[in-house]
Amino acid sequence: MKKPSLTQPVDTKTIILNEAVRLFAKHGYSDVSMRDIAEAVGIRAPALYNHFTDKQNLYLAAVSQAFAEKNQAFSELFSKGGTPAQQLEKFVYYLCESVGNDPDFRRLLQREVLDGDEARLRVLAKNVFEEQFLTITRLAKQLAPTCDAHMLTISIAGLVLHHFEFGPLRRFFPGSRAEHEDPKYIAKHVVNLLFNGLDGRNHKKRK
Amino acid sequence: MKKPSLTQPVDTKTIILNEAVRLFAKHGYSDVSMRDIAEAVGIRAPALYNHFTDKQNLYLAAVSQAFAEKNQAFSELFSKGGTPAQQLEKFVYYLCESVGNDPDFRRLLQREVLDGDEARLRVLAKNVFEEQFLTITRLAKQLAPTCDAHMLTISIAGLVLHHFEFGPLRRFFPGSRAEHEDPKYIAKHVVNLLFNGLDGRNHKKRK
DNA sequence: GACTCCTTAATTAACATTCATTAATATGAA
DNA sequence: TTCATATTAATGAATGTTAATTAAGGAGTC
């Protein structure tokens, strides 16, 4: 069916998607026009309609693509075994690096959570995040049996995500330093907080 | 200067601001037209220009108003003394109630953090949140002297905020229950996590 | 190879709509 | 009257999208 022809028919669609992801993540759906995307690609706006039926269709394809690849590296995380504590620590580091190195993904997620309709959010939860959510929830149950594991999973993700999401505002708070945006530094802080709570002095063994 | 006249001249401006806050919080700057706001108020769009110079001006005024009142109840929180741990617990409960009962405020904050330019974010940090930030940082230093207090403050705020921000997506995760959106339940969870870390069994005395 | 034919993907031009904003004007109370 | 506040009408720009057209490559037939 899909015959990759000659010049670059498949390539154009990929380029469009990449530019769309970048622009939608940066400015949001309503602040990116079809002309903006076309210009970034190097074509005219009507040419976009050879690849996508309309703007919404292009947006959904862009978001899907941005979220699609996020399930591969994750699975490998837990293949190597380790104690639950070690696995959680690995996950926090993975999440920090992942979110820190892909601001487009993070911003698209923020925008979807803010403005996505129920249908889109349901798909997002089921198809993109459910596996990861269940894995962390299982871990949470082992590590903190008396805690609401559902809530704890949200807490862990939120703890990481918010350090990145709040960056633009946090920068103007007293005591801000460059390392506060460093994924490794954030991960270390979060891991410490999770395992020891506020009282970071009484370290418990967890390795 | 401001003479509250008769019919409702000052009132109109207030109504405009309230409707603008509501609409901007719900849909975002670009997805709310001057006509939308005017319709919500019950007037025609050009009448808005008797009270605000342009759309940006109206938006800034709306955001300022939504953020303005957030510094009053806060100060009283710490006037009654208590141990640092008690004060922090009070703050978490206050923040949960505050954010939970004012979704417009929360959504506007989310939008500003996502799309606000540097100047606006600087003003927001300095004029709206700095006092609260410094207070919590001071508390953090007392409660966790070995921890990066700046980071810890962000963690505390993020922990609370994310439970509300992620609500629309979290609802579609397995195990979701109604109480997961209850401010008091969230506060209890956050307090427990902060003071005890993952291991919620070894409760430390803190009252 | 040379001739059609179909498909794909690009272009320019144009359209209808919506938007923020302005101008001119009316209304009504002090 | 005067001033503040509202209205209607209009303007110019931007938006998503469609129409008509063109160029180019692949496939089948001679």
pLDDT digits (tens, 9 = 90+) for A83-128: 999 999 999 999 999 999 999 999 999 999 999 999 999 999 999 9
Mean pLDDT for chain A overall: 91
Through-space separation of residue A121 CA and nucleotide C2 C1' in angstroms: 57
- Tell whether the model's pLDDT for residue A7 goes beyond 50: no
- Give the model's confidence band at B73: pLDDT under 50 very low, under 70 low, under 90 confident, else very high: confident
The nucleotide minimizing the C1' distance to residue B50's CA is D5
| DSSP state letters, A67-131 | HHGGGHHHHHHTTT---HHHHHHHHHHHHHHHHHT-HHHHHHHHHHHHH--HHHHHHIIIIIIHH
A133–B173 C-beta distance less than 8 A: yes
Residues of chain B neighbouring A114 (CB-CB closer than 8 A)? 28, 107, 110-111, 114, 165
- Give the model's confidence band at B204: pLDDT under 50 very low, under 70 low, under 90 confident, else very high: very low
Say whether both B88 and B57 belong to one domain.
no
Residue B2 lies in a domain: no
Residue B127 lies in a domain: yes
Instruction: Point out the residue among A175, A192, A193 whose CB comes nearest to the CB of B150.
Output: A175
As a whole-number percent, the residues of chain B with pLDDT over 70 amount to 91
Determine which helix (DSSP H) or strand (DSSP E) holds A201, and give its type and residue range.
none
Say whether both A85 and A54 belong to one domain.
no
Token pair listed for B12:
């109109």
User: Helix, strand, coil % (nearest 5) of chain B?
Assistant: 75, 0, 25
A116–B186 C-beta distance less than 8 A: no
The domain total for chain A is: 2
Q: Per-residue pLDDT tens for B4-54?
A: 333 334 599 999 999 999 999 999 999 999 999 999 999 999 999 999 999
Say whether both B137 and B186 belong to one domain.
yes
Please state at what angle helix A183-196 crosses helix B149-165, rounded to 10 degrees: 80
| Length reported for chain B | 207
**Stretch B65-73: mean pLDDT, rounded?**
84
**Stretch A1-26: mean pLDDT, rounded?**
74
Name the closest residue on chain B to residue A31, using Cα atoms: B30
Q: Per-residue pLDDT tens for A155-183?
A: 999 999 999 999 999 999 999 999 999 99
Say whether both B186 and B97 belong to one domain.
yes
As a whole-number percent, the residues of chain A with pLDDT over 70 amount to 91
Instruction: Point out the residue among B107, B134, B150 whose CB comes nearest to the CB of A176.
Output: B150
- Give the model's confidence band at B161: pLDDT under 50 very low, under 70 low, under 90 confident, else very high: very high
DSSP B51: T
Say whether both B191 and B158 belong to one domain.
yes
pLDDT in the model for residue B10: 54
Which range of residues forms the domain containing residue B120? 83-196
**Stretch B81-90: mean pLDDT, rounded?**
93
Q: Per-residue pLDDT tens for B94-119?
A: 999 999 999 999 999 999 999 999 99
User: Helix, strand, coil % (nearest 5) of chain A?
Assistant: 75, 0, 25
From A67's Cα to the closest Cα of chain B, the distance in A is 14
Say whether both B112 and B167 belong to one domain.
yes
Through-space separation of residue B117 CA and nucleotide D15 C1' in angstroms: 24
pLDDT in the model for residue A197: 85
Are B163 and A154 within 8 A, CB to CB? yes
Say whether both A189 and A87 belong to one domain.
yes
pLDDT in the model for residue B76: 83
Residue A51 lies in a domain: yes
Token pair listed for B118:
């540097």
